[in-house]
């Protein structure tokens, strides 16, 4: 199956669940097209042993969702632990969890970005995380405020924002993990239930 076919299947599934349409062009890219954070799905066949990043969302009752998962395609002899991006995946996951743990009312957006960026930087990959950690989401996919180094907006209960750190290594590939999080009076609630372990999909 090609990247484009996977994107079409995913968008059709969202429509079956009640979505009006995809909230943006669905991204399905093997190793994030060798370390580009974004890009369109191509006719390239998804290969066993490849990390595939899916970045997708639905428009439902006028509001947008946004999620990213990086999955490993199963096949003969495929092992998650031996994949060259396995350790990178774990670092990105820990960065996302650190950012989510830091979310609570009264905290500045730049502090959430710092929580994720610190994990990636201390692991030696700071130069390969070239975008913000997240953004508000609602009627538009990308809204303010942003989890960026310069955004001093104070978080308030009821805000919805994405948390999406990533590492992109030239010539090797990239990993990104993204969830939408609700700021609550107590902290943060992740609105998605899809697991974030290195998932093995079905056979390519």
Q: Is the pLDDT of residue 107 over 50?
A: yes
Residue 106's CB: how many other CB atoms inside 10 A? 9
Residue found by looking up tokens 């303010």 in the block: 144
- Of 113, 106, 89, which Cα lies nearest the Cα of 32? 89
**pLDDT: which is higher, 173 or 201:** 173
Residues 2, 6, 11: CA angle, nearest 5 degrees: 145
List pLDDT tens digits, range 152-196. Answer: 999 999 999 999 999 999 988 899 999 999 999 999 999 999 888
- Of 194, 137, 193, 133, which Cα lies nearest the Cα of 164? 133
Q: Is the pLDDT of residue 202 over 60?
A: no
Residue found by looking up tokens 């774990």 in the block: 90
- Determine the pLDDT at residue 204: 40
- Determine the pLDDT at residue 83: 87
User: Residues 46-55, buried b or exposed e (16+ Cβ, 10 A)?
Assistant: beebbbbbbb
Partners of 135 in beta bridges = 146
Report d(CA 201, CA 176) in Å as an integer.
17
Q: Is the pLDDT of residue 78 over 50?
A: yes
Q: What domains lie within the chain, and their CATH numbers?
A: 3-203 (3.90.230.10)
Q: Is the pLDDT of residue 203 over 50?
A: no
Rounded to two decimals, the pTM is: 0.92
Q: Are 89 and 69 contacting, i.e. CB atoms less than 8 angstroms apart?
A: no
Q: Are 192 and 67 contacting, i.e. CB atoms less than 8 angstroms apart?
A: yes
- Determine the pLDDT at residue 74: 82
CA distances (Å), 30 to each of 4, 27, 83, 87, 145, in order? 11, 10, 13, 17, 30
List pLDDT tens digits, range 17-73. Answer: 999 999 999 999 886 555 655 667 888 888 888 889 999 999 999 999 999 999 988
Q: Is the pLDDT of residue 201 over 90?
A: no
List pLDDT tens digits, range 119-148. Answer: 999 999 999 999 999 999 999 999 999 999
């Amino acid at each position: 199956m090609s990247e484009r076919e996977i994107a079409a299947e995913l968008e059709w599934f969202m429509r079956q669940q009640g979505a009006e349409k995809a909230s943006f062009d669905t991204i399905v890219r093997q190793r994030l097209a060798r370390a580009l954070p974004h890009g369109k799905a191509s006719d390239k066949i998804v290969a066993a042993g490849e990390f595939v990043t899916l970045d997708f969302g639905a428009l439902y009752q006028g509001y947008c969702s946004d999620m990213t998962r990086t999955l490993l395609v199963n096949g003969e002899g495929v092992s998650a632990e031996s994949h060259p991006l396995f350790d990178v995946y774990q670092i990105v996951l820990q960065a996302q969890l650190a950012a989510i743990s830091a979310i609570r009312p009264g905290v500045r957006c730049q502090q959430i970005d710092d929580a994720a960026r610190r994990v990636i930087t201390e692991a030696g990959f700071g130069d390969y995380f070239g975008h913000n950690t997240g953004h508000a989401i609602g009627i538009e996919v990308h809204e303010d405020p942003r989890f960026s180094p310069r955004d001093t907006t104070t978080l308030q209960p009821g805000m919805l924002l994405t948390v999406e750190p990533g590492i992109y290594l030239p010539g090797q590939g990239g990993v990104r993990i993204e969830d939408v999080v609700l700021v609550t009076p107590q902290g943060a609630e992740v609105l998605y239930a899809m697991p974030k372990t290195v998932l093995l999909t079905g056979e390519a």
